[in-house]
Amino acid sequence: MTLEIITDPLLEGVPHGFFTRKGGASSGVFAGLNCGYGSSDQKDIVAINRSRVAGILGVEADHLMGVHQVHSSDAITVDAPGTPAHKADALVTARDGIALSILTADCQPVLFADTKARVIGAAHAGWKGALNGVLEATVAQMENLGASRQNIAAVIGPAISQPNYEVGPEFRDSFVDTDAGYERFFLQGKDDRFHFDLPGFGLFQLKQSGIQSASWTHHCTYADPERFFSYRRSVHEKQADYGRLIAAIRL
């Protein structure tokens, strides 16, 4: 089966893709394109999946760079291929032939490009990272490489949508205590539950960072098990583990 790749017109001219789970070598709960070494999937199978992604992007497997994601607001600059994974949640580069990748399973994968300055970025923006500024940090790191905010385009890929993101009052309070205006990203649910708009919040954060060309692909990871892995769905279905989706971009 061939890989299924979601692209966006805002990143036209820049090789990129939000890869679905289709077309991979994994099986069981990981069936398809599981690209996460942090899962309990067989490492050699994950390597095969990642090499397929690298091939689509036209780079060697060791040129498909990632980070050890920890739900932080940290962004790093990648200057050379094959460097060890850092603990961070975003990475940027101006180096040709390097692909930047992010893994998700409900959190937001965000791909960035300034085609004039030839600078790209990728960010893993869960609720914690987004609230603490990982998207702004990515933009700032891109600026350090010569990008300009008015020329950066950013696209949020498949992520959990508001109808499926039920949270408790403590979660909501962590946002509203930071900024009362963040209340608009929550809808009242049943009893004391709320539904959080993660992609809406991500788009807001991008706009606040000066990015005017920003969009979401409008794919919900939770709602479409045939195409996407979902951490929250795996919990609700009492599965032992879950696969990781990959999003990647290169110059």
The count of other CB atoms within 10 Å of the CB of residue 209 is 18
Q: Where are the beta strands (DSSP E) in 70-128?
A: 75-77, 90-93, 99-104, 108-114, 119-125
CATH 3.60.140.10 for domain 5-161+197-250, yes or no, is: yes
Reported pTM? 0.97
Identify the helix (H) or strand (E) that includes residue 246: strand 245-250
Helix (H, G, I), strand (E, B) or coil at 154: strand
For residue 177, count CB atoms less than 10 angstroms from its CB and return exposed for 0-12, middle for 13-18, buried for 19 or more.
exposed
| Per-residue pLDDT at 86 | 86
Q: 76 near 90, Cβ under 8 Å?
A: yes
What pLDDT, on a 0 to 100 scale, did the predictor assign at position 83? 72
pLDDT at 238: 97
**Sheet strands side by side (includes 153-156):** 75-77, 90-93, 119-125, 108-114, 153-156, 213-216
Instruction: Identify the sign of the CA torsion 135, 140, 141, 143.
Output: positive
| pLDDT, tens digit (0-9, with 9 covering 90-100), for 12-55 | 999 999 999 999 999 999 999 999 999 999 999 999 999 999 99
CB 215 within 8 A of CB 8: yes
Retrieve residue 110's tokens. Answer: 């965000």
Reported as a single tens digit per residue, the pLDDT across 200-212 is 999 999 999 999 9
Q: Which residues of 89-98 are buried (b: 16+ CB within 10 A; e: fewer)?
A: bbbbbbbeeb
Query: Alpha-carbon distance 128 to 134, whole Å?
Result: 9
Q: What is the pLDDT of residue 1?
A: 64
**pLDDT attached to residue 141:** 98
Residue ranges covered by each domain of the chain: 5-161+197-250
pLDDT at 82 (0 to 100) = 80
Q: Can you list the residues of the chain whose pLDDT is less than 50?
A: none
**The Cα angle at residue 220 between residues 172 and 158, in degrees rounded to 5:** 100
Give the full edge-to-edge strand order of the sheet including 166-167. Answer: 166-167, 194-196, 186-188
- Cα dihedral sign for 235, 249, 213, 20? negative
Would you state the pLDDT for residue 51?
97
